[in-house]
Structure 1
Amino acid sequence: MANERVLQAVAYFEEGNADLVPLHDMGLTAADLDEILELVAWGDKASLEVKDAVERLYEARLAEEEKAGLAIPLVVVKEERRGRRRLLVMLAAIGALLVAVIAWRARHP
Structure 2
Amino acid sequence: MSNSIGERERDLVSANLSTGFDPDRSNRERRKLKRKIYSNGRKRTLYDERGHLVKSDQNVCDCLQPDCPGCHFPCPKCGSPMCGHECRVNRKWMYDQVEIEGTDKVLRNRFRD
Same fold (TM over 0.5): no
Structure 1 or 2: more strand by fraction = 2
Structure (1 or 2) with the larger CA radius of gyration: 2
TM-score with structure 1 setting the length: 0.21
Structure 1 or 2: more helix by fraction = 1
TM-score with structure 2 setting the length: 0.21
Relative contact order (C-alpha < 8 Å, sep 6+): which is higher? 1
